[in-house]
Amino acid sequence: MEKMPWRILEGKKIVGSLGSIIGEVVDLIFNDEDGKLVFIEVKPVEGSILDIEEGKNVLIPYKLVISIKDVVVINEELLEEEGIKTKVRVIE
C-alpha cells in the first residue's frame, strides 16, 4: 500500500470484507524497533460487529487491512483468529 499521512487515516470508517460495520480509526500503533505499522486502534460505532465493552477501543492487526481508499477494508473473517470477539451475524 502507498504511504499516506496519519491525518488522512484518522477518523476513517472501517468496514469488513463481508460488508460488516467495524468502527473508525482512532490511532495507529508502530513497532518501536523497525517503525512498521502493527495495529490500528479502532473505536466501534453503532451497528459494529465488534463484541467489546461499551466505551472501549480494540486493536486490529494491520495485517488484516485489505485496502485503504474512502474507507479502510479489513479481512473480517480473520478477526476471531486474532482473538478479537465479534457478535454473531444473523443472515435473513
Cell of 11: 477518523
Kindly state the percentage of the chain with pLDDT values over 90.
Answer: 59
Helix, strand or coil, per DSSP, at residue 89: coil
Cell of 88: 454473531
Beta strand residue intervals within the chain, DSSP E: 13-16, 21-30, 37-44, 58-61, 65-68, 72-74
**Higher-scoring residue by pLDDT: 37, 87:** 37
pTM for the full predicted model: 0.84
pLDDT in tens, 24-60: 999 999 999 998 999 999 999 988 999 888 889 999 9
Contacts of 18 (CB under 8 A, 6+ apart): 76, 77
Q: Please list the alpha-helical segments (H only) found in 5-81.
A: 6-9
